[in-house]
Amino acid sequence: MKHPSNRAFFAYWDEKRDGERAPDRRVIEPNAVRQLLGDIFVLSYDPERGYPFRVAGTRVCALLDRDLKGDNFSALFAAASRDEITDILGIVSEELLVSVAGLTATERNGSLAHFELLLLPFNHRAHTPISLTGLLAPMQHSRQPVADFTLTSWRYLNHPPQRFVPRALKKLAIARGFMVYEGLR
C-alpha cells in the first residue's frame, strides 16, 4: 500500500480481526478511525443490484459530486473495468481476501486523477447481508469531481498465518481447577 490512509485503515482492520481471516463488522469503531471517515465506505451485496453503497464518506461523495447511498459501486467504473471490479469485489467478500488496486479517473477538465483503493472484507454472520468496507485515497489532491474509474493494477493480500496451539496447551486451556496427572513410578 502506498497511501498512508490505506496503511492506517488496514492496520486498524488487521488489529480488529485478531488473527482471524476478517473481523466482524460490529467490532469496527468509527471513532477509532475518525480522521479517515471521509474516505471510507461500506458496501453490501445484493444479488440483483450488485454491491450498493450502504455508507459513503463525505470526501468520497464530494469527489463523485453526489450522495452515493444505494448506488452500485461497479457503476462508478468505465465499461472496460466494470466486470473486473465486480470480480474483485466478489473475491474480497466471498474469499475474505484483502485487495489493493490502483485506479485512474477522469476529472471534469479532462485530466487524469490517480487513486489507491483498499477493499477489506467483514466476517460473514448468519442472517446478515454480506458486506465489505474500503477506502478510496487520492494520490494527489483533486479539486474537481471525477468520473469513469479505470483499474490500472490490483493485488490480493494473503490470509494471516493460522495460529496453531500445541495439543498439550489446548488441553490445559480447556482444563479448569485441580487436575491429577498419572505418572510412572
Domain boundaries, the chain: 4-174
Question: C-alpha 160: how far from its chain's center?
Answer: 15
Q: Measured between alpha carbons, how far is 172 from 131 in angstroms, rounded to an integer?
A: 37
Q: What is the pLDDT of residue 148?
A: 95
The cell numbers describing 171, all together, are 488441553
Q: What is the pLDDT of residue 18?
A: 85
Model confidence, pTM: 0.83
Q: Which residue ranges in the chain fall short of pLDDT 70?
A: 127-128, 159-185
The cell numbers describing 113, all together, are 486523477
Q: What is the pLDDT of residue 99?
A: 97
Q: How far is CA 73 from CA 123, 135, 148, in A?
A: 20, 13, 11
Q: What is the pLDDT of residue 125?
A: 75
The cell numbers describing 119, all together, are 477493499
Q: Measured between alpha carbons, how far is 55 from 101 in angstroms, rounded to an integer?
A: 20
Domain 4-174 of CATH type 3.20.20.80: no
Q: In terms of DSSP bridges, do strands 53-56 and 146-157 run parallel, antiparallel, or are they unpaired?
A: unpaired
Q: What is the pLDDT of residue 134?
A: 97
